[in-house]
A and B are shown apart, each in its own frame.
Chain A
């Protein structure tokens, strides 16, 4: 179902978002069988006599249906959860619609997000289909494929350093997709620091933050000229910091970053729940990971697209193309 893309040595496969995994659920509505000529009048009547449709805006109001009495339409009057049958009858009894042929019909309870869902939903009742914009983010340009390849390879190479350092073998890289450059990189530091929370992803986020804090300090300093000796001294630290940091491009320096908004994260392993939520808090744009982690935030909770969380990001499971070939 999800899309595959080849980025250099890697196969990149988008992890479906929660909505794409949505199974067909239906809801009951009262429908009336009418002729085409009656449509606008009955819709007028319904709008002033019944509660407004709520949460099923994707459902079309009318369904054409062949019937023994010729071509007829089924029109939705209201949702069954709003009125019981007696209440409905009471509102119709003394009107011109008293003899209406009313039935209960099923309609899809959620909108279709994929073509596949659309085909299954519309067999139940006509629905509108608006593909999710964020699903289209899987398309990569040639330049971008090379950048994804480089970042994933860097994460894998950093992993080899973990083996030498004796820690857990996890590495992460943060990239700026506009500049297509690495802006932070780290290996798992839990063993070396004695802090069980110093995961590679957390270290990368901290690097971006420290860089932003330092950048802002430099800007404030350059705006307020100081004549004492500490001025030039602290300014001298700026280029040193820049040389140390993997970023150097002017466009990154000028970025007025809010946390890691819109950035790409490349991790050798699917982040744990703590790290995945850290990425949500940091407002990243995309996550690419190599090894799956059954206790991770994507596998456990689909946190990249969790309905109750305030930020979503695209997520890609990556495999070395040669591994994929040897599997099959």
Chain B
């Protein structure tokens, strides 16, 4: 295969991945509409979406109900064979947090694609490297960001200019504006 062919193939692959990420963004939007932190994901096995999830920490009053864990729970209780995770790819709008990054190792996920980095909790590159460090439970996996990064950031910004009424001391955010100039949408 010539270099040009490889490049065309990679571009085609990126388009396919972007389509899965569009599905993850739809899940994030569903979370936003439900007043949850807008993060969504899909799991893909052999080109088929086999699982979907979005953040539901507020309604569950449980800080661990992140999109990834919600989807995994649903898949397993719906009969998904946990051995198949090793052939499954995850598309999630935001870099998995440290907790989810560890969970993904423990189910032996094949690969992870995400939209934007998670500067506060990221477990693939931003805060810790749970996805690749040695000595942890489960198996390391490759991860790659930058799929619809700006769209993922926009959703989070839209959410955070609203007031989080479930926080112990909700901050008044009347003066906040939604900034979009630095994003390519």
Contacts and interface: CB of A to CB of B under 8 A. Distances in A.
* A and B found bound together: yes
Interface of A: 193-197, 202, 205-206, 208-209, 212-213, 216, 257-261, 272-275, 277-278, 280-283, 294-295, 300-301, 303, 306, 308-310
B61 interface: yes
5 contacts: A194-B76, A258-B166, A273-B98, A278-B64, A306-B128
Given A209-B60, A213-B60, A274 B166 contact: no
B106 A300 contact: no
A274 B61 contact: no
Contact of A308 (B69, B73, B103, B127): B127
A197 B61 contact: no
A257 B61 CA distance: 9
B137 A258 contact: no
A281 B82 contact: no
B82 A309 contact: no
Contacts of B127: 306, 308-309
Contact of B103 (A193, A261, A274, A281): A274
A184 B121 CA distance: 26
Contacts of B176: none
Tier of interface size on chain B: 20 to 34
A291 to B, nearest CB: 15
A208 B136 CA distance: 27
B97 interface: yes
Interface in B110-161: 120-121, 123, 127-128, 130, 133, 135-137
State the 10 A-B residue pairs at the shortest beta-carbon distance, nearest first.
A209-B62, A277-B99, A281-B63, A274-B102, A273-B102, A277-B98, A212-B61, A278-B64, A209-B61, A308-B127
Given A195-B76, A205-B62, A273-B130, A294 B102 contact: no
A257 B73 CA distance: 25
B99 A281 contact: yes
Given A194-B76, A213-B60, A280-B98, 13 more contacts: A197-B106, A212-B61, A261-B168, A273-B102, A273-B123, A273-B130, A277-B97, A277-B99, A277-B121, A281-B99, A282-B63, A306-B127, A306-B128
A202 B133 contact: no
Contacts of A277: 97-99, 102, 121, 123
